[in-house]
Structure 1
Amino acid sequence: MNRTLTLVTSNPHKAKEVAAFFGGSVEISHVALDIPELRSDDIQEIAREKARYAYDRIHRPLMVDDTAFFIDALNGFPGPYAAYVLSTIGNTGILRLMEGARDRNARFTTAIAFADETGIFVFSGTISGRIIPEPRGSGGFGYDPIFEVDGKTLAEIPLEEKSAISHRARALTSFRDWFMNRQDRCLVDTNR
């Protein structure tokens, strides 16, 4: 069975990463749609509402994601507001906030929400690492140059490798396993 899926995101880097993850097993089309973002501390709730909004507009099976970035020394900041913080203070601002911090532990969590006529389903993945004092690497996007896992920043890891280990990859793996094996119309999300 040929499976197709629409990825709704305004970030072309995410679209490229998701397409690389599926490697042709699922045909991915990309739709850039401005989605109002729910203000919540719950990343899964944010992803669910983004999927609901997108599905109500384009009426085809789709997937959205939302990512939170939790820094232990900053009491979990920026959390689900990672995109806003990146666009306002950037990696430079985060590194300033981290000056002198001994605890450099951090984690990314991605929630992926899939929506179709049967409901909305949410999958998540997390990767733990640490904030380094200076950016390294030329790949990736966002916080990748300051987030280190096993001695390398996500910006130093080739896309193929990142697509296998990242928070998004972990969420995508859970989603893919469900999506490729699901019996259509047998599962309904009662929260819809």
Structure 2
Amino acid sequence: MSRNLTIVTSNANKAQEVAAFFGGTLTVRHVALDIPELRSDDVREIAREKVRYAYDHLKEPLIVDDTAFSIDALNGFPGPYAAYVLISIGNTGILKLMDGVTDRNARFTTAIAFADETGIEVFTGTIDGRIITAPRGAGGFGYDSIFEVDGQTLAEIPLEKKSAISHRACALAAFRDWFIQHQV
């Protein structure tokens, strides 16, 4: 049985990661839709509202995601405001904020929200790592070049491997398991 999935995001890199994660088991279609974003400290709530908006406009089963990037020494900053902070101060600004800080622990948490005619489901995934002192790696996007997991930044990890271990992959795995059980 052929299965199709639509991901709604303005970030083509996210869509590429989702397609790589499913590796042909699902056909992934990318739709760029400008979605107003709820301001909340909870990525699950943000994802839930984004998927509600997208489903109301497209009227087809789809997923959206939202990601928080939380740095322990900065009391969880930038958290769910990661995209805005990346645009505003970038990795250089984050590294300046971390200058001289010994606790470099951080984590990404992604919420994947799915909507269809029966309702909304939300799935999360987290990956723990640390902020390094200078960017490394040519792959990935966003904070990937300053976030290290097991000695490699996410920007140094090939997409195929990243698509199996990342915060997005953990959330997508939970979604996939649910989707397979409920969509047959």
Tell me if TM exceeds 0.5: yes
Q: Secondary structure at the match of 1:54?
A: helix
Question: Could you tell me which residue of structure 2 aligns to residue 166 of structure 1?
Answer: 166
Letter in 2 for 1:44: R
What is the CA distance between 1:5 and its match in structure 2? 0.9
Rounded to whole Å, the distance in 2 between the matches of 1:39 and 1:165 is 28
Corresponding residue SS for 2:145: helix
Give, as a single letter, the amino acid of the residue that structure 2 aligns with 1:119.
Answer: G
Q: 1:183 deviation in Å?
A: 5.0
Q: List per-residue Cα deviations over 1:105-125 (Å, max 9, x = no partner).
A: 000000000000000000000
Q: How does 1:23-62 map to 2 (within 5 A)?
A: 23-62=23-62
Q: Distance in 2 between matches of 1:102 and 1:130?
A: 11
Letter in 1 for 2:13: H
Aligned to 1:9: 9
Residue 38 of structure 1 aligns to a residue whose secondary structure is coil
Residues of 2 paired with 1:174 and 1:86: CA distance?
Answer: 27
Tell me what 1:92 maps to. Answer: 92
Counterpart secondary structure, 2:139: coil
- What pairs up with 1:16-165 in 2 under 5 angstroms? 16-165=16-165
Per-residue CA deviation, residues 26-62 of structure 1 (Å, 9 max, x unaligned), is: 1110000000000000110000000000000000000
Q: CA RMSD in A?
A: 0.7
Q: In 1, distance between residues paired with 2:166 and 2:57? A: 30
Amino acid at match of 2:29: S
List runs of 5+ in structure 2 lacking aligned partners: none
AA of the residue aligned to 1:26: L
Identify which range, 65-74 or 175-184, moves more after superposition.
175-184
Q: Which amino acid counterpart does residue 12 of structure 1 have in structure 2? A: A
Query: Structure 1 runs of 4+ off > 2 angstroms?
Result: none
How far apart are the structure 2 equivalents of 1:152 and 1:108? 15
Distance 2:3 2:116 in 1: 13
Structure 1 residues without counterparts, runs of 5 or longer? 185-192
**Which amino acid in structure 1 is aligned with residue 164 of structure 2?**
A
1:42 maps to a residue whose letter is D
Identity over the aligned pairs, expressed in percent?
A: 77
CA apart distance, 1:2: 1.5
- Which residue identity is paired with 1:153? T
- Which residue is equivalent to 1:180? 180
Task: Give the CA deviation at 1:21.
Answer: 0.4
Please give the secondary structure, in 2, of the residue aligned with 1:46.
helix
